[in-house]
Amino acid sequence: MSQKTWGGRFSAPTDKLVEQFTESISVDSRLFPHDIRASQAHAVMLSEVGLLTTAEAGKIVAALDDIREDLENNRIPFRTALEDIHTHIESELIFRLDKQGLGDLGRKLHTARSRNDQVVTDLKLWTRDSIDMLDHLLAELQRSFLDFGLRHRDVIIPAYTHMQRAQPVLVPHYALAYVEKFQRDRDRLADARKRVNVLPLGAAALAGSSLPINRYSVAKQLGFDEVARNSLDVSSDRDFAAEFVFGLSLIAVHLSNWSEEWILWTTTEFDTIELPDEFCTGSSIMPHKKNPDVLELTRGKTGRVLGHLHHLLVMMKGLPMAYNRDMQEDKPAMFDAADTVTASVQIAAALVRKAKIKTASVAARLDQGFLDATTLMESFISRGVPMRTAHEAVGLLVRECEQKKLKLSDLPTSKFDEVCPGEGAAVRAVLGVANSIKAFQSYGSTAPHSVETQLKEWQAKLA
């Protein structure tokens, strides 16, 4: 028998250049646990429907267990001539069972399946495991941000729009914003998992099988919730791959947003956050430098992940129905995107745990930038001044302060009386960032009572 799973049709051996060009074992070798697991379930099912005896299935399952152990310990060499992990495992199974005097038993395993449905089954099992692992890591990252907020519970920092100082917020309010973002990432992956968790195996090449297989048995053994309804769709489906990498891309984007912020915050100009030394590097020529390389690399790796999403979509967009070899190119994109995001999430969680707000530096500059201007405007509004009138009035007061190098709280009460007669003294009670923070009332705002409620809710959710 040819080493190829398809060798009988051909009269000449495969050119070495073709073997090197078409092999995928250098990429898909990591699928061996999933391929073995799916093959064992397939063997059990074949025995249930009478295509194998119970004893035959038992010998196949046992041999596959041994092969798994040898692969885990790097005792089976990979060869480009065997193309992919599926052929490596089947070839090794045939060899071992033949040595045991069991004849063609190993050659029976591939009954009623094709590499087309086999590879997508393995890839779905891997994707499902990756989603579960990422969910755990994202929860840990959320806990890190929650801890960051709790460690700086009463600290006020400026929040920005257009990179200009906007309004004051509590640090835990800021930290919980990232907790919310990563929760959406978790929810998005959980939703994608529903579509991943549909069994493809049994669709065979594209039309199904004329043999009396039981796909529901395989689904139950492998923990799939459903069985794919259309065999033609199975062979051509890589939607789940694109959806998974889209989820990874948004995680990477959120990490990049955070990295960009903290890179700025570490500068002398912002002087807002202190990163742990063990997560920074220095300069080969400038002895004073402390560079946020981890954050920069996290930001940089985002482009790599986004590129993999584009790669998958371009791969998919021109394919006719059923399997095409182009689909072999899905795994490099999926594997690298998952590896990159996994590493980024892990190191982000560790860094956030040890980072500290430079509270003295932040507090010394909180009165800069008129962070209390919007609250002043809303104080006027609450006393009957029309919103647009109040907006223009506060804008004029800010301009006057800029010209005279004053804070809003430096202005005399009479200035506020001009906007809202008789209410100047009451209005000025919201000035200053601490008073401004206390003035917030709306649900989801940075109001201290609202932030405390959110902290307690997230502590319970992430416990």
Instruction: Give the percent of the chain with pLDDT over 90.
Output: 94
Structure-model confidence comparison of residues 22 and 80, the more confident one: 80
Contact 409, 428 (CB under 8 A): yes
pLDDT band at 63 (very low <50, low <70, confident <90, very high): very high
- Domain 7-111 coded CATH 3.40.50.720: no
* pLDDT of res. 5: 67
Q: What average pLDDT does this structure show over 313-336? A: 94
Report residue 436 as tokens.
């401004």
Whole-number Cα distances in Å, 305 to 223, 241, 350, 455: 29, 13, 21, 32
Give the per-residue pLDDT at 12.
Answer: 74
22, amino acid identity: T
Q: CA 406, CA 241: separation in Å to the nearest integer?
A: 57
Report the candidate in 114, 320, 317 with the shortest Cα–Cα distance to residue 206: 114
Residue 179: Cβ-neighbour burial (10 angstroms; 0-12, 13-18, 19+): buried
Residue 455 has pLDDT above 80, yes or no: yes
Give how far Cα 113 sits from Cα of 46, 207, 234, Å. Answer: 11, 11, 12
* Set 162, 210, 284, 442: catalytic member: 162
* Cβ pair 43, 92 in contact under 8 A: no
Distance separating alpha carbons of residues 310 and 402, to the nearest angstrom: 48
Q: Considering only CA atoms, which of 374, 444, 414 is closest in space to residue 177?
A: 444
Render pLDDT for 230-260 as a digit per residue (tens, 0 to 9). 999 998 999 999 999 999 999 999 999 999 9
Distance CA 415, CA 261 (A): 37
Q: Which of 17-31, 43-57, 187-201, 297-311 shows the lowest mean pLDDT across its residues? A: 17-31
Kind of pairing between the strands at 156-161 and 164-170: antiparallel
| 10 or 335: which leads in pLDDT | 335
pLDDT at residue 2 tops 60: no
Whether residue 10 has pLDDT greater than 80: no
Instruction: Among 30-34, 57-61, 322-326, name the one with the lowest average pLDDT.
Output: 322-326
pLDDT of 23 above 50? yes
- Say if residues 349 and 137 touch (Cβ distance below 8 Å): yes
Interstrand relation of 164-170 and 226-227 (parallel, antiparallel or unpaired): unpaired
Task: Show the 3-state SS of the chain.
Answer: CCCCCCHHHCCCCCCHHHHHHHCCHHHHHHHHHHHHHHHHHHHHHHHHCCCCCHHHHHHHHHHHHHHHHHHHCCCCCCCHHHCCHHHHHHHHHHHHHHHCCCCCHHHHCCCCCCHHHHHHHHHHHHHHHHHHHHHHHHHHHHHHHHHHHHHCCCCEEEEEECCEEEEEEEHHHHHHHHHHHHHHHHHHHHHHHHHHCEECCCCCCCCCCCCCCCHHHHHHHHCCCEECCCHHHHHHCCHHHHHHHHHHHHHHHHHHHHHHHHHHHCCCCCCCEECCHHHCECCCCCCCCCECHHHHHHHHHHHHHHHHHHHHHHHHHCCCCCCCHHHHHHHHHHHHHHHHHHHHHHHHHHHHHHCEECHHHHHHCCCCCCCCHHHHHHHHHHCCCCHHHHHHHHHHHHHHHHHHCCCHHHCCHHHHHHHCCCCHHHHHHHCCHHHHHHHCCCCCCCCHHHHHHHHHHHHHHCC
What gap in Å lies between CA 43 and CA 48, rounded to an integer? 9
Q: Which of 2, 26, 136, 283 is catalytic?
A: 283
Position 14 scores a pLDDT of 76
Q: What is the pLDDT, as a whole number, of residue 4?
A: 62
Query: Mean pLDDT score of the chain, rounded to an integer?
Result: 95
Confidence class of residue 27 from pLDDT cuts 50, 70 and 90? very high
Length of the chain: 463
CB crowding 60-69: b at 16 or more within 10 Å, else e: bbebbeebbe
Residue type, 87: T
Tell me what pLDDT residue 269 has. Answer: 96
pLDDT at 8: 64
CB 330 within 8 A of CB 294: no
Residue 6 has pLDDT above 70, yes or no: no
The question of whether 391 is a catalytic residue gets the answer no
What confidence tier does 383 reach under pLDDT thresholds 50, 70, 90?
A: very high
Look up 283 and say whether it is catalytic.
yes
* 1 pLDDT above the threshold of 70: no
pLDDT band, residue 17 (cuts 50/70/90): confident
Contacts of 451 (CB under 8 A, 6+ apart): 170, 172, 173, 176
Domain ranges of the chain: 7-111, 116-364
Rg (C-alpha) for the chain, rounded Å, is 31
pTM over 0.85: yes
For 116-364, the fitting CATH number among 2.60.40.420, 3.40.50.2300, 3.30.300.30, 1.20.200.10 is 1.20.200.10
Q: Is the pLDDT of residue 103 over 90?
A: no
- Which pLDDT belongs to residue 21? 85
pLDDT of residue 144: 98
Q: Rounded CA gap, 307 and 52, in Å? A: 45
